[in-house]
Amino acid sequence: MTAAGAPQWRGIIEEYREWLPITADTPVVTLREGGTPLVRSETLSAETGCDVWLKYDGANPTGSFKDRGMTLAISKAIEEGAKAVVCASTGNTSASAAAYAAKAALTCAVLVPKGKIALGKMAQTLVHGARVLEVDGNFDAALELAKDLADRYPVTLVNSVNRFRLEGQKTAAFEICDALARAPDLHLVPVGNAGNISSHWLGYSDYLEAGVIHEPPRLFGFQAKGAAPIVLGEPVKDPQTIATAIRIGNPASWEKALSAAKESEGAILAVTDREILAAYRRVAREGLFAEPASAASVAGLLHLHAEGNLTADATVVCVLTGHGLKDPEWAIAGAAQPQTVRGDPAAVATELGL
Ligand SMILES: *Cc1c(COP(=O)(O)O)cnc(C)c1O
């Protein structure tokens, strides 16, 4: 291989270095995350009367936006001399932590709620060589345990309470503004532990302060109805939703998410699992396979539209946070069964009505 060749996207640290808390001495651990597609949805635009764009963060190296935060968290952990990292996870944080720790040759331990991790996410975590410890309890209990462990032992916590995670994740907002040459009017995102919405507000605020954009978007976060502590105003003891990535009853970034919604004149709202699944199938029929939790943003868009809360011609971005292959169960459950056909073109053509 020669050194020459077409330039490729360098990963969020190199692309947005001056906006991030790093120095010339920070070792950059990257899998060239970020630079994900912003895809216009013709059908959602037509239906809502808005200009609707889907930010497909499922196209990150491990298939979720978590990589944007993990490249920074792991780079800073290395800079600070860490030998091991730990996280609690509903699946995507562990997949991402495992991959970046592998890249950096760090030991990685993940605490997951027993029996609650989607197969694809577990496969990723294991194949990258992380130690997986199952905890009897939900995500919230696993996070408390991980925090406790990091307080007492020489191990760095890489959940989104690690401030470098949010700093990295804010680059999604930068990419959206750079692609549209302005901020959208509305920015819709699923909410679980509430780090991502907080980080996006940080990104828009940075760009606003620097004069790169002149108006920030209104931020709308969507929780699943059975796991909607922020909407209810109190923690949910036993959160329930098919959208496992947002099955969280006591979000770590609760206050930050509330401020993001308030300062941007948006809101944190709830959508039902039925709405989430309908949105999930819908974006898949447009060629983007996003996991159920991701579809909460599109479910939210349709929800706002149904309630007459969208302004015509508004530019709207829905963030699709994770890849559908991580949790394919719902894709198969809702689809037609494959049919068997004789191995001859005429039979196939008849079956297809050609
Ligand atoms: C982590 C995750 C979320 C929730 O993000 P928070 O920062 O916890 O609010 C949503 N969707 C997917 C696919 C995720 O991996």
**Can you give the three-state secondary structure of 268-323, one letter per residue?**
EEEECHHHHHHHHHHHHCCCCCECHHHHHHHHHHHHHHHCCCCCCCCEEEEEECEE
- Selection from 99, 94, 171 nearest residue 134 by Cα: 94
- Please report the pLDDT score of residue 4 as a whole number: 77
- Residue 30 CA to its chain's centroid (Å): 18
Question: Is 120 touching ligand 1 by the criterion CB < 6 Å?
Answer: no
- Please report the pLDDT score of residue 5 as a whole number: 87
Count how many Cα atoms sit within 13 Å of the Cα of residue 10 in the half-sphere of its side chain. 7
pLDDT range class, residue 153, cuts 50, 70, 90:
very high
SS3 222: strand
- Fill in the DSSP letter of residue 338: P
Atom 4 of ligand 1, nearest CA residue: 192
SS3 290: strand
- Please report the pLDDT score of residue 228 as a whole number: 98
- Please report the pLDDT score of residue 333 as a whole number: 86
- Lowest mean pLDDT, pick from 38-52, 237-251, 328-342: 328-342
What is the average pLDDT value for the chain, to the nearest integer?
96
pTM higher than 0.85? yes
Distance 190 CA to ligand 1 centre (A): 7
- Selection from 352, 326, 278, 304 nearest residue 60 by Cα: 326
Question: Is 160 touching ligand 1 by the criterion CB < 6 Å?
Answer: yes
Asked whether the predicted pLDDT for residue 334 surpasses 80, the reply is no
- Fill in the DSSP letter of residue 138: -
Is the separation of the CB atoms in 69 and 164 below 8 Å? Answer: yes
pLDDT range class, residue 335, cuts 50, 70, 90:
confident
Distance 57 CA to ligand 1 centre (A): 11
CA-194 nearest atom, ligand 1: 9
Question: Is 94 touching ligand 1 by the criterion CB < 6 Å?
Answer: no
CA pseudo-torsion sign 210, 198, 27, 65: negative
- Please report the pLDDT score of residue 3 as a whole number: 63
Question: Is 66 touching ligand 1 by the criterion CB < 6 Å?
Answer: yes
- Please report the pLDDT score of residue 346 as a whole number: 97
Distance 55 CA to ligand 1 centre (A): 14
Distances (CA, A) of 79 to 11, 24, 70, 104, 175: 18, 11, 14, 11, 26
Atom 15 of ligand 1, nearest CA residue: 92
Atom 5 of ligand 1, nearest CA residue: 192
- Lowest mean pLDDT, pick from 15-19, 179-183, 314-318, 337-341: 337-341
Residue of 54, 92, 291, 298 best suited for mutating to test ligand 1, as the one with most atoms within 8 Å of CB: 92
Q: pLDDT tens digits for 244-297? A: 999 999 999 999 999 999 999 999 999 999 999 999 999 999 999 999 999 999
Instruction: Report percent pLDDT > 70 for the chain.
Output: 99
Asked whether the predicted pLDDT for residue 1 surpasses 80, the reply is no
Token output for 7: 């330039």
Asked whether the predicted pLDDT for residue 116 surpasses 90, the reply is no
pLDDT range class, residue 340, cuts 50, 70, 90:
very high
CA-198 nearest atom, ligand 1: 7
Average pLDDT over every residue of 94-123: 95
- Fill in the DSSP letter of residue 18: G
Average pLDDT over every residue of 343-348: 96
Q: Is residue 3 classed exposed, middle or buried when 0-12, 13-18 and 19+ CB atoms within 10 A define those classes?
A: exposed
Q: pLDDT tens digits for 200-243? A: 999 999 999 999 999 999 999 999 999 999 999 999 999 999 99
SS3 218: strand
pLDDT range class, residue 2, cuts 50, 70, 90:
low
